[in-house]
Amino acid sequence: MLPGKLAARDPQLGDYHSQVSLGNIPGVFKVYKFGRGLLKGVGKFAPIAPLDGTLTLPAVPNFVTPTSSDINDVYGGTGAWSVHITGLGETKEMETEIVRMNEQSTKKFFRVFRVFVYQCGVAVNPFPYEASDIGNNIGDITLTHAEGPVAMINARMGQTLMAVFTVPKDHVALMWSADTNMGKDADAVGYFFLRDTKLENSAWRVQGIRDMYRNTVGKSWRLPSKIEELTDIIMAAEGSLNDTVSGTFEMEIRRIR
């Protein structure tokens, strides 16, 4: 019998939150997002994601294509062969697809919030210790939608660092915790922005703000904060040009119909 099946029947193997993480609660799943990016200067809200402030949130679903800054990230090469994409599809429900490098997806994506290298060109992949290491993704991989770049995997990282999410159709998000961190001895301000994608010309609204200086600041909700379906969520920051900032947030996603 599978461990997951045992866990679903044995209350000694965890409380409600553990059961959610194990996938044993129907219609409920966990989302943990983490990101890192460069600040673009005071007064500029830079998404905590490695796209130099150019993160695209498409107006309509379309196909996406992964390309790299290194020619060895190609199917059959020494770098990344394919990527696994997670986001919202044409129906604005959760969708995934595995796509070879430089090839177009067969599914249309409305949002993308996680991409990782699925296969690479080394059977026994060494840990990416140096820039010259083969395996993983040797260059920066950009996932491009017809309207612009929607995700990036930094060289050798193997996965996106994007503190962004969009609540799927027919679901609601319960925000449990969030934190931000400065990468050097400097000042910055961290923000949580939300936008309702169902409302035409909907504005971004700040939902949380934290001042940072050489430390980590965070918040845990004793009662989780509710976020409605099809709401864009972006963790962003402003501060000195090219300083680094990272952020994480954790949510529970529940089906409502």
> Has residue 11 been placed in a domain?
no
| Closest alpha carbon to 36 in 179, 185, 231 | 179
192 and 242 within one domain: yes
Residue 156 — φ and ψ, nearest 5°?
A: 70, -5
- Provide the pLDDT for residue 14: 64
Say if residues 58 and 146 touch (Cβ distance below 8 Å). yes
37 and 85 within one domain: no
122 and 174 within one domain: no
In order of 13, 37, 55, 256, the CA distances from 27 in angstroms are 20, 33, 30, 8
| Closest alpha carbon to 228 in 192, 196, 200, 206 | 196
Q: Residue 96 carries which DSSP code?
A: E
187 and 214 within one domain: yes
- Provide the pLDDT for residue 1: 29
> Has residue 185 been placed in a domain?
yes
Domain span at residue 88? 64-153
> Has residue 4 been placed in a domain?
no
3-state secondary structure (DSSP) of residue 4: helix
Distance, first Cα to last Cα, the chain: 31
> Has residue 8 been placed in a domain?
no
State the number of CA atoms in the 13 A half-sphere of 222 facing the CB: 0
Q: Provide the domain count of the chain.
A: 2
Instruction: Among 127, 153, 179, give the residue marking a domain's end.
Output: 153
Name the token pair of 249: 């947030």
47 and 70 within one domain: no
In order of 73, 76, 113, 169, 225, the CA distances from 80 in angstroms are 4, 9, 19, 32, 38
> Has residue 18 been placed in a domain?
no
Cα–Cα distance measured from residue 73 to residue 75, given in angstroms and rounded to the nearest whole number: 7
Say if residues 63 and 146 touch (Cβ distance below 8 Å). yes
The answer for residues whose C-beta is within 8 angstroms of residue 203's C-beta and 6 or more apart is 195
Instruction: Among 153, 186, 202, give the residue marking a domain's end.
Output: 153
Instruction: Among 153, 178, 198, give the residue marking a domain's end.
Output: 153
Q: Splitting the chain (257 residues) into consecutive groups of 10 residues, what average pLDDT does each group show?
A: 41 73 91 93 90 86 98 95 98 98 98 97 82 86 97 95 97 93 78 94 92 75 90 93 89 95
128 and 184 within one domain: no
178 and 133 within one domain: no
> Has residue 81 been placed in a domain?
yes
> Has residue 10 been placed in a domain?
no
| Closest alpha carbon to 88 in 233, 252, 237, 257 | 233
